[in-house]
Each structure stands twice: as structure tokens, then as C-alpha cells.
Copies of this chain bind each other. A is one copy, B any other.
Amino acid sequence: MLEYVTDAADPRLADYVSLRDVELRKSLEAERGLFLAEGEKVIRRAVGAGYPVRSVLTTQRWLAALADVLGDSLVYVVSDAVMSGIAGFPVHRGALASMERLPLPPVERVAAAASRLVVLEDLVDHANIGAIFRCAAALGVGGVVLSPRCADPLYRRAVKVSMGAVFSIPYARMDDWYNGLAGLRAQGYELLALTPDQAAVPLDEVVMGERVALLLGSEGDGLSSRWLHESRPVCIPMSPQAMAAGVDSLNVVAAAAIACHGLMRRAG
């Protein structure tokens, strides 16, 4: 169903307000139970993954590309000028969709269905979250578990950077940070904590059991001492010359990519 809207302030576009204000969007999306998918490809994947469409916002020019996926969804069609006015940035391939969130499964269910997990503690950067989901999905990790305070994989930028991988890999969020790892251990997971500390065992030398959970810490501080203490520290060996020159760590996405690749190479 098409509705033509000519005013960026039209109340029908309330799902799309303040797109550059991360804090406001976080509370707005939580309250209304929605998230935004940007661009035809990502919208298509969100729909394919079963998320109900609340509405789509696009311009006449991009309507045709989306026609087959929209069904009888509510579609707001606006001019390029109104689109720019609403978004405040160039919208990827001219379309945004407001999608309904679905209840997340419990951690136990995601863990039960997988043999390789990535567990993210308190990451704050949505682009990093998206990139790690993309790596984990592409490299055959079976699920992602988030600490209670880890940033939201369905935030627009995370969804976009993941190229929709947030829809294809199951994930869950822990209720309890302090005791969160005990449950995974009880389900038979060996917990490997990735650390830049070169005194840890190199990941490539770890003999891996049937179930492995790879723990990744936040961008600034890495893993908490609580989680490090609960798990086995592993490292990615770095060049001694680079360490001496002060290049003493990898960013979390690069480390996650190498580690997920390591898990896959040695899958049972």
C-alpha cells in the first residue's frame, strides 16, 4: 500500500526520526520494538528472515527494486529532498524499512544448537558488532551470545555493516553478566578468552573439543578480569618487531576474523 508523504515532519514517519542521534534512537527503538533496515539487499534479508515490516520509506526511483519483496506492506513514498531531510545522510540505495523486533531466544537454546559460539562482552561500537557478525556467519560460527551491556546488533549501522548477517546467525543476550559464563560451561563449552597478552597460549596450538566458545572483549579495555578468570586465555601471535614499535594489538574485528577462521579450520 503506497502513501505519498510530502513533509519530513509528517507524524506517519515517526519511526524514522532523528536517525543520526544514536542515544535517542536506542530508546525509541526499544520502546516501540522496532529496528531499521537500510538498502534493498538488507531489507530483503530481514524480510526473508521473518521480521514483520512495519513500514518502508523510499523514493519513487527505488520503488521498483523493492516491489517483489514488499507485498502489501505500508510504503511511504517521498521526494529525494524529503528523504535527505529525514535521514541527514545519503540513504543506502534509497530505502529504509522499519521492522518489528522478534523476541530473542534464550542463551541456552542458541548454545544448544551450536558447536562454535562467539561471546561478546560489552562491545560498544555498532560497526564492530556488525563486522563480527559478518565474520562469524561467513566462517561457520553457530551462534553469538551477548553480555547484558553489549551494543545492539539490530541497530541500523550494525545491521548495515553486517550486510544482513545479523539475520542469518542466531544470537541471544545473557541476563546475568557475573554468572553468564557458568551456563555455557554447563552446556559443555570450553571457554577461550582472546587476549593480546602474548604470554597466553597461541590459538592455533589449542586442542579444541567439540564445543568451543570464543570470548571477545570491549574495544578499549578488552575482557573483564572476571571473564578472563573464568576462561582460558588464548592469543594471536604478533610480530615481535611490531610489538617493539608499539603496534601491540589488533583491532577487535581483525582479531575476531582470525580467531573465527581458526575455529573453522579445526572444526570437528
Contacts and interface: CB of A to CB of B under 8 A. Distances in A.
B238 A138 contact: yes
Number of copies: 2
Interface in A248-268: 248-251, 253-258, 261, 264-265
Main secondary structure of the interface of A (DSSP, over half): helix
A239 B164 contact: no
A237 B258 contact: no
A264 B242 contact: no
Contacts of A238: 138-140
Interface in A132-146: 134-135, 137-140
Interface centre among A165, A237, A248, A257 (most CB of B within 10 A): A257
B134 A247 contact: yes
B261 A134 contact: no
Contacts of A154: none
A21 to B, nearest CB: 16
Interface of A: 41, 45, 131, 134-135, 137-140, 161, 163-165, 168, 204, 236-239, 241-242, 245-251, 253-258, 261, 264-265
